[in-house]
Amino acid sequence: MAQAQPRPSLSSALCYRDPKAALKWLENAFGFETVMVITDAEGNLGHSEMRYGNGLLMIGNEWTDDHKSPASIGSKNTQTVHVHLDEDIDKHCARARAAGAEIIQDPATQFYGDRTYRARDPEGHIWTFGQTVKQVTREEAEKASGLKIDGWV
């Protein structure tokens, strides 16, 4: 029996109107891997988990008035999910676009050395993807941005 991956200290849970379709779409568009699906006797999804690298994402149904898909609340988001990529971000963006993601910010290199893009999935969740393309010091980032940065790691 394969040993389970350790649980990450932090993960995110997203609600979808159609979580089964979301699982397939997230695999196809973003390359996430479905690692757990729990269904009831009628085949309804009760809980699911996806991985990307060492990150964990829970995908589920809308289950209370406070747990809704953006598609049910006027496309509003109270959070976005950021995924750090090791693969080529421009190719990742092209894959997401081809799968039907709305690219709301094309890939662009940021002052802190990451190249990022933003995408909206079919139910309205906003995703940010980033890849480190240049090592930048705090001083270089401050000079490029005009911002004061504390806690640079």
**Number of Cβ within a 10 Å radius of residue 141:** 16
| Same domain (yes/no): 55, 94 | no
Q: Over pLDDT 90: what percentage of the chain?
A: 74
CATH number at residue 108: 3.30.720.110
Residue 107 forms part of a structural domain = yes
The more confident residue out of 49 and 5 is 49
Q: Annotate 80-124 with DSSP letters as a single string.
A: -EEEE-SS-HHHHHHHHHHTT-EEEEEEEE-TTSEEEEEEE-TT-
Residue 1 lies in a domain: no
Q: List Cα–Cα distances, 99 to 86, 103, 119, in angstroms.
A: 20, 11, 11
How confident is the model at residue 2, as a pLDDT? 53
| Pair 58, 99 in one domain | no
User: pLDDT by residue (tens digit) across 82-130?
Assistant: 999 999 999 999 999 999 999 999 999 999 999 999 999 999 999 999 9
Query: What domain range includes position 98?
Result: 80-146
